[in-house]
Structure 1
């Protein structure tokens, strides 16, 4: 058991270092080094990396490893993230400062920081609540249970809700509009298929119990969607 646990931790650490510390930072340092001299952007980056690290550590590894077409889509989606940071920075620099100066305020960025913390807590908290069922792979494990309490009492996918909040927070921190709207659209394009597939599997597994749960909850936003 300890050997498996140590191996899983090692895999997660290697991924975090290679993707976030090396790849992410290399692109940002090359394309927008100014971010590293901005206190509010530094705070955001630390929170962003910290959330990614914690989420990776609490996320159980999937029982099966398969790289299908959708998994490749997710890899591309996450691989594009640093480029969204770059585009957001330059949108603010070239457009927002000129045409929407009231939005270009440090207060907006710090409001985004606060909102990001809420989104991160939603995402990580909902994964922790799922326990061993919260792997990144869509699967029904042996002994799988339907979680309908806590963060799952109001929405069926609080993890994705947290991600959506995080994107809005990102837009506020970087004080951008177009890139934020693009990121939101991309989020729905990429993840809508995923949460619908999750619902399909859970309905097959739990039947009427899950259908009743769907009737009293929304997908992402309480009372809205």
Structure 2
């Protein structure tokens, strides 16, 4: 089996793993009332851009090989590194969902009786779910030997992240005030001790 085929299979496994982790939280979240939201046209566009980069373009490549002109032969080392990042991403993704529990939301929502989560992985990082998605996007870039489909995750999720993290932090500060400001001072945004 070629490294390219293994990479494609692993990418599909990563998407299935992502969905398996998220699905129960998504079902549970629908039962909790949203008090305040920042959903709207801009958020929908950000989500579609991210979905295009992390789902649609790579899915099209895996299913059809398109865009053919951007395909190259990967090394087994590249695929192995992609696998390692995939595992890290899914572990981080699971830890974030577990820590958030009932406070989880797919978008910029404040739920009824919302609490500021600072336990688990959130003790050290304010946005570990974004860290998980960045890691997933890097894994995709290594697993899919196509310059367009592989790198689309970094571009798509990067757009979502850079346009969303500011409004999200503003909403948290507005909701939790000094508790959020204190939490922000003692934690990193994505990577402990770095950023």
TM-score range normalised by the length of the shorter chain? 0.7 to 0.9
Measured after TM superposition, the shift of residue 169 of structure 1 is 0.7
Query: Structure 1 residue aligned with 2:180, among 202, 206, 210?
Result: 210
Please tell me whether residue 68 in structure 1 is matched to residue 40 in structure 2: yes
Q: Write out per-residue CA displacement over residues 88-142 of structure 1, whole angstroms, 9 at most, x where no aligned residue.
A: 9667975644xxxxxx212321221121111112123202211111021322223
TM-score, normalised to structure 1, is 0.68
Match of 2:25 in 1: 58
Match of 1:5 in 2: none
Match of 1:83 in 2: 57
Unpaired runs of 5+ residues, structure 2, are: none
Query: Structure 2 residue aligned with 1:117, among 84, 87, 93?
Result: 87
2:149 & 2:13 partners in 1: Cα distance?
21
Match of 1:221 in 2: 191
Instruction: Tell me if the contact between 1:92 and 1:175 (Cα under 8 Å) persists in the aligned partners.
Output: no
Instruction: Tell me if the contact between 1:58 and 1:128 (Cα under 8 Å) persists in the aligned partners.
Output: no
Unpaired runs of 5+ residues, structure 1, are: 1-34, 98-103
Query: Structure 2 residue aligned with 1:49, among 4, 12, 16?
Result: 16
Point out the structure with max Rg over C-alpha: 1
Question: Per the alignment, do residues 198 and 66 of structure 1 end up closer, same or farther by CA in structure 2, a change over 3 Å counting?
Answer: closer
Instruction: Tell me if the contact between 1:108 and 1:175 (Cα under 8 Å) persists in the aligned partners.
Output: no
More helix by percentage: 1
1:124 & 1:152 partners in 2: Cα distance?
12
Aligned length: 184
Instruction: Tell me if the contact between 1:128 and 1:134 (Cα under 8 Å) persists in the aligned partners.
Output: no
TM-score, normalised to structure 2, is 0.78
Question: Per the alignment, do residues 193 and 166 of structure 1 end up closer, same or farther by CA in structure 2, a change over 3 Å counting?
Answer: same
